[in-house]
Amino acid sequence: MFQSVYQHTPAPSTGAALNTCVYFANGGSAKSISYSGIPKGDKGEFYKSGGQTDKCKGSPAVVTGSGSGCATAPAGFNLESFKYVKA
């Protein structure tokens, strides 16, 4: 289980199981989301807000490696959901 994901305003979300989608409730989204503790050999997948990519559907907008960092949505979009998967 990875340690944490934070949107850059309001509240943190801590912990998620492998292949479990974590998403912001009530239509929430963020331009950037920081993460920490993704296990070595795994990766993070971040999905754009809106339509076909809500709640980890379709292709991720940002894919990260293990460890810690910050995922920033492509220009003109926000991120709405995240999951970590085996690389």
Residue ranges and CATH numbers for the domains of the chain are 2-86 (2.60.20)
Direct distance between the N- and C-terminal alpha carbons of the chain, in angstroms, rounded to an integer = 14
pTM (two decimals): 0.81
Residue 4 pLDDT greater than 60, yes or no: no
How many whole angstroms separate alpha carbon 77 and alpha carbon 59? 14
Mean pLDDT of 58-75: 94
33 three-class SS: strand
Which residue has 């949505």 as its token pair?
Answer: 73
pLDDT in tens, 49-63: 988 998 999 999 999
Query: What confidence category does residue 65 fall into, taking pLDDT thresholds of 50, 70 and 90?
Result: very high
Nearest to 69 by CA among 32, 16, 28, 15: 32
- The residue ranking higher by pLDDT, 87 or 40, is 40
Pick from 7-21, 38-52, 53-67: least confident = 7-21
54 three-class SS: helix
